[in-house]
Amino acid sequence: MPSSLARVATDAAPRYAKQLASHFGRKIPAEETADGGHRLTFQNTDVVLEPQDDHLLIRVTAPDAPTLTTIQEVVGSHLERFGRRNELVVTWDEPTQD
């Protein structure tokens, strides 16, 4: 299964993770993880949001490359829109095969 990471520089990572989880949680399963992050489940695709001190780590694992790209675009565009005032930019690493 292909996966990819994004590290989004922000000092408000917990807030953005919670905002994304709350937003998407209206339509898909979203749960808080033991470490204070969140897991979103888009059909067969997992998105893990891990707040860090100076960035939000986003990990996407999908069943195939086209689905990975779609979910990256959806999650990334929403986060950039939520963080427009703070000029958040989501840049994804090259996908890897797990």
Query: Do the beta carbons of residue 3 and residue 63 sit within 8 Å?
Result: no
DSSP secondary structure code for residue 62 in this structure: -
User: What's the alpha-carbon Rg for the chain, to the nearest Å?
Assistant: 12
Which one, of 49, 51, 21, lies nearest residue 60 by Cα? 49
- Give strand pairing partners of 18: none
How sure is the predictor about 60, in pLDDT bands with cuts at 50, 70 and 90?
very high
Per-residue pLDDT tens digits for 7-45: 999 999 999 999 999 999 999 999 999 988 999 999 899
